[in-house]
Amino acid sequence: EPEVTQTPSHQVTQMGQEVILRCVPISNHLYFYWYRQILGQKVEFLVSFYNNEISEKSEIFDDQFSVERPDGSNFTLKIRSTKLEDSAMYFCASKGTGSYNSPLHFGNGTRLTVT
Amino acid sequence: LAKTTQPISMDSYEGQEVNITCSHNNIATNDYITWYQQFPSQGPRFIIQGYKTKVTNEVASLFIPADRKSSTLSLPRVSLSDTAVYYCLVGDGGAGSARQLTFGSGTQLTVLP
């Protein structure tokens, strides 16, 4: 079964550094999402992306965050200047168009640790 | 966005049937109901989705009453490996746009031997 893959599985960075989290969605999917989950808390929506532009974003997704689909396969989340509170699991998800309401398919996440 | 309410936690024993109910009183006409399972340090995994009445697949059943203001996920004969957090999501996905789907707090199911 096709999967959403995320790299790296674990990223450690210093406060103030830029990080790029990478995702390869399922190949025929057109809707892309980033979610995050702080340890012990619920899964929070960050941003959704369709047709090469952001569809929706949450209040968490401020100017420090950006997303990009640089080619036909990758979908990236960039944090320009990381803060301690950005430490979390970041999940990428994609969604197909075969049916009107196809479910989200999630990757296994990148654990970001900001020190 | 339709808000969902689920029990925070449930315990069960191996071999029992588990029913987890989710309330979504302000569900919209176009909204579907989707359940996900999440193990620690893994991404949520799709379990089942429905619009009305009953849906069954190889792992679960989903019961949705006529008013659609709630739904019940039924897991038959649970095992220890079913210990996880279960999330109920409500949304229409949005044909032509990537509308967000919002996770609630989920239900921590613990299956005991």
A11 against B104, higher pLDDT: A11
Contact A42 B44 (CB under 8 A): no
* CA A71 to each of CA A44, A76, B26: distance values in angstroms, whole numbers, following the listed order: 26, 10, 39
Distance of alpha carbon A28 from alpha carbon B59, whole angstroms = 25
C-alpha dist (Å) from residue B47 to A19, A31, A104, B39, B97:
32, 19, 11, 13, 23
Contact B98 A48 (CB under 8 A): yes
Q: How confident is the model at residue A73 (pLDDT cuts 50, 70, 90)?
A: confident
**Mean pLDDT across the stretch A70-87?**
94
Cβ separation B103–A35 shorter than 8 A: yes
Select the more confidently predicted residue: B17 or A71.
B17
β-bridge pairing A10-13 and A110-114: parallel
> CB neighbours of A40 closer than 8 A, spacing ≥ 6?
none
In a domain, B77, yes or no: yes
In this complex, is the C-beta atom of A42 within 8 Å of any C-beta atom belonging to chain B? yes
CATH classification of the domain holding B32: 2.60.40.10
Q: Domain limits of chain A?
A: 5-114
**Is B105's Cβ below 8 Å from some Cβ in A?**
yes
**From CA B63, how far away is CA B94, in angstroms rounded?**
23
Residue type, A2: P
For testing contact with chain B, the best of A29, A43, A69 (most B CBs within 10 A) = A43
What would the mean pLDDT of B73-83 be, rounded to a whole number?
Answer: 96
**Residue A33 near residue A104 (C-beta atoms within 8 A):** yes
Model confidence pLDDT, tens digit, residues A31-51: 899 999 999 898 999 999 988
Does residue B18 lie in a domain region? yes
In CATH, which of 2.60.40.10, 3.30.460.20, 3.30.465.10, 3.10.580.10 is domain A5-114? 2.60.40.10
Residue-number span of the structural domain to which B39 is assigned: 9-112
Name the helix (H) or strand (E) containing B34. Answer: strand B32-38
**Residue A65: alpha-carbon gap to chain centroid:** 10
Q: State mean pLDDT over A61-86.
A: 94
Mean pLDDT of B63-88: 96
CA separation, residue A105 to residues A42, A50, A76, A102, B25 (Å): 17, 15, 16, 9, 26
Segment A84-108 mean pLDDT: 85
CB-count burial class (<10 Å; 0-12, 13-18, 19+) for B84: buried
pLDDT of residue B68: 95
**Considering only CA atoms, which of A60, A39, A56 is closest in space to residue A109?**
A39
**Rounded to whole angstroms, what are the CA distances from B8 to B14, B88, B95, B109, B110?**
20, 12, 32, 9, 11
pLDDT at residue B94 is higher than 70? no
Q: Residue B92: its chain A contacts at CB < 8 A?
A: 101
- Residue B88 inside a domain? The answer is yes
For residue B1, being part of any structural domain is answered with no
The answer on pLDDT for B43 being more than 90 is yes
Q: Do B103 and A103 touch (CB under 8 A)?
A: no
Strand-pair partners of B64: B53
pLDDT of residue A103: 83
Distance from CA of A48 to the nearest CA of B (A): 6
If one counts the domains in chain B, the total is 1
Judge: B43–A111 Cβ closer than 8 Å, yes or no.
Answer: no
Tell me what the pLDDT averaged over chain A comes to: 92
Percent of residues, chain B, with pLDDT higher than 70? 91
Interface of B with A in 85-104 (CB under 8 A): 87, 92-104
Nearest to A91 by CA among B101, B8, B24: B101
- Is residue B37 in some structural domain? yes
Q: Is A50 near chain B, with CB under 8 Å?
A: yes
pLDDT at B22 over 60: yes
B45 Cβ contact partners less than 8 Å away, ≥ 6 residues apart: A106, B36, B37, B38, B39
Residue B99 lies in a domain: yes
Give the confidence band of B93 by pLDDT, cuts at 50, 70, 90: low
Handedness of CA A79, A82, A84, A87 (dihedral sign): positive
Tell me what pLDDT residue A98 has. 41
Contacts of B101 in chain A (CB under 8 A): 33, 45, 104
